[in-house]
A and B are shown apart, each in its own frame.
Chain A
Amino acid sequence: MSLDVKTVLEGLNKKELVEIAKLRKISIPHNWSKSLIVELLALNVSVDDIPKIKMESLVHRVKSNSAPIIVLKDLVKKFEDVVAVDGLNLEIMEGELFGLLGPNGAGKTTTISILNGIIKPTKGIATIAGFDVTKNMHAIKKIIGLCPQEAAVFKFLNARENIELFGKLHSISGKQLEERTDRLLELLGLKEASRRKTGSFSGGMLRKLNLIIALISDPEIAFLDEPTIGMDARARRKTWEFIGRLKEEKKTVILTTHYIEEAEALSDRVGIIDYGKLIELGTPEELMERHKAKNLEEVFLKITGRRIMEGV
Chain B
Amino acid sequence: MNYQALVILVKMELKKAIRQPANLFLNLLFPAVLTIVFLFAFSDPEMGMDVNSLVPGLIVYAVIFFIMTIAQSFSSERQEGLLRRLNTTPMTSAEFMGSRIITHMLISIVQVVIVIALAYLLGFRPTGGIGGILLALPVVAIFALSSVGLGLITATISKTPEAATGISFIFILPQMFFGTFIPITSTTEQIASFIPSFYVVDALKMIFKGDWMNSNILLDLTIISIISILVVLLGIILFEKFGNR
Instruction: List residues of chain A with CB under 8 Å of any chain B CB.
Output: 113, 116-119, 138, 141-142, 144-146, 148-150, 152-154, 156-157, 161, 165-166, 168-171, 173, 213
Min CB–CB distance A6 → chain B (angstroms): 29
B15 within 8 A of A: yes
B88 touches A116 (CB 8 A): yes
Closest to B8 in A: A168
Cβ-defined partner of B90 (8 Å) among A141, A153, A173: A141
Contact flag A157-B12 (CB < 8 Å), given A141-B90, A168-B5, A171-B4: yes
Given A138-B92, A157-B19, 15 additional A-B pairs, CB 8 A: A118-B88, A118-B245, A141-B88, A141-B90, A146-B85, A148-B85, A152-B80, A156-B16, A156-B20, A157-B12, A166-B89, A168-B8, A169-B5, A170-B90, A173-B4
Q: How far is the CA of A152 from the CA of B79 in the complex (A)?
A: 9
Q: How far is the CA of A171 from the CA of B89 in the complex (A)?
A: 10
Closest to B96 in A: A169
B122 within 8 A of A: no
**Majority secondary structure of chain B interface residues (helix, strand, loop or mixed):** helix
Contact flag A142-B90 (CB < 8 Å), given A119-B245, A157-B12: yes
Instruction: List residues of chain B with CB under 8 Å of any chain A CB.
Output: 2, 4-5, 8-9, 12, 15-16, 19-20, 80-82, 84-92, 245
B82 touches A165 (CB 8 A): no
A-B contact count (CB 8 A): 63
B20 touches A141 (CB 8 A): no
Contact flag A168-B4 (CB < 8 Å), given A142-B90, A156-B15: yes
Min CB–CB distance A15 → chain B (angstroms): 20
Q: How far is the CA of A218 from the CA of B199 in the complex (A)?
A: 51
Q: How far is the CA of A138 from the CA of B5 in the complex (A)?
A: 14
What are 5 A-B interface contacts by the 8 Å CB criterion?
A118-B87, A118-B245, A154-B16, A166-B89, A168-B8
Chain A residues, Cβ within 8 Å of B8 = 165, 168-169
